Amino acid sequence: MKVILVDSLIGNDYTLCLASSLQNEGLDVIFIVPANRKFNKVNNFIIKRWSPSKDRKDSKLLKLFKYFEYLFKLFIFIINNKDTAVHFQFFRFKFDILFFILLRFFNVKLVHTAHDVLPHEKRKIDYLLNYFLYRASRKIIVHSSYIKSKLSSIFNINKEKIEIVPHGNFDIYQSNSPLSNEEAKKELNLSAADKVILFFGFIKEYKGLDIFLDAYSLVHQKNPEIKFIIAGAIESKSLAQLYKNKISTFQRDGSLIINFSYIPSDKVAAYFTAADFVVLPYKDIDHSGIVHLAYSFETPIIATNVGDFSETIEEGKSGYLVEKNDPNALADTIIEAFNNIELNLNMKKYIKELNNNKYSWDKIARKTIEIYKNVTRK
């Protein structure tokens, strides 16, 4: 059996993990990616770098030409493999959705993973495009019952069309010689005794960095020894300026460590291994891959109770949940978390069990293959 995976993103390795696990289960995987997509590990599936490069140095006119050339090439390739499941992940442009809908008229066996029901920056056109996207899909994969219910409710989709497949962990960020907690802290210029809270990832307004900073101010008054780390590039200059203005009001003493830049893959492990907790003070979300990045390093999570976090972050087992937009509750939970060392150790053990069972890529691949078989039988 064969599958064509299409993913236009650069910075998210979910589809790469899925492709590897599907290939390991015996599928012939053809992975369509951007021209400048790089892989840190050798892969045993076919990679076609057809989507235009996202390098900002390339001219917009050239990118536009390459984009339509890519769609034509992809269309011909898919039509010549009509009996194959074609699984779209992340789209690059909204026009990709129109291309997806076009394929449905040619009876292509289309599968789509809805990582989010709608884009975070919602526009009126998004509802219309996603309405037809979900109807063009033979099967829609989601990562939780929360997303399944939301998708079915908003777009009136038959729930039998929606399959829940857990989001696996990002094990590819683990090296063959994992860092110890002390080694990771040393790499980040921390001492072995430091207590560390981590805010990680591409920073957008909905992720609540302002809430994190307010919580830092409150925690610092009571427990100045706790180190708060922020690591990730910011979406826009205006948002960056907003956060920098807020940070400028703090008295800097080394307890707030900031790296407002893209974190390369080979540095990810150090941040998560050094952290005692990862904090996700999101204001809105459907599902977050950062949960699974944290779990990959058996790091417990403190998050706001939004989206499907109550499913993926089990209260008292793999982390803590607090009310959204409440820096006081977040600060109190952070302090409480560091006062319960035994529970935190038990959380790490429980997360390891989750990794070996619920979030095992072997199980995820087998369930995904059953979905492919279902759509190709029709």
pLDDT tens-digit map of 289-323: 999 999 999 999 999 999 999 999 999 999 999 99
Residues 6+ apart with CB under 8 A from 370: none
Mean pLDDT, residues 182-206 = 95
pLDDT for residue 215:
97
Residue 57's pLDDT is what?
A: 75
SS3 of 3-50: EEEECCCCCCCHHHHHHHHHHHCCCEEEEEEECCCCCCCCCCCEEEEE
Containing 348, the helix (H) or strand (E) segment is: helix 341-356
224-278 pLDDT, tens digit per residue, is 999 999 999 999 999 999 999 999 998 778 899 999 999 988 899 999 999 999 9
The domain segmentation of the chain, as residue ranges, is 2-168+360-377, 173-356
The pLDDT of residue 175 is 75
| Average pLDDT for 3-31 | 92
pLDDT at 266 (0 to 100): 87
Task: Tell me the CATH number of domain 173-356, given options 3.40.605.10, 3.40.190.10, 3.40.50.2000, 3.10.20.30.
Answer: 3.40.50.2000
76 Cβ neighbours under 8 A, 6+ residues apart: none
Is pLDDT of 94 > 80?
yes
Residue 42 is predicted with a pLDDT of 72
12, pLDDT greater than 90? no
Average pLDDT, the chain: 93
Nearest to 347 by CA among 282, 275, 287, 284: 275
Fold agreement between 2-168+360-377 and 173-356: yes
Evaluate whether 305 touches 324 at the Cβ level (below 8 Å): yes
The 10s digit of each residue's pLDDT in 45-88 is 999 999 888 777 777 788 888 899 999 999 999 999 989 999 99
Nearest to 258 by CA among 294, 239, 220, 230: 230
CATH, domain 2-168+360-377, list 3.40.630.10, 3.40.50.1240, 3.40.50.2000, 1.25.60.10 = 3.40.50.2000
Exposure letters 114-137 (e unless 16+ CB within 10 A, then b): bbbbbeeeeeeeeeebbeebbebb
pLDDT band at 11 (very low <50, low <70, confident <90, very high): low
The continuous run of DSSP H or E covering 123 comes out as none
The pLDDT, as a whole number, for residue 225 is: 92
Look at residue 377 in the predicted model and tell me its pLDDT: 87
Contact by Cβ (8 Å): 101, 133? yes
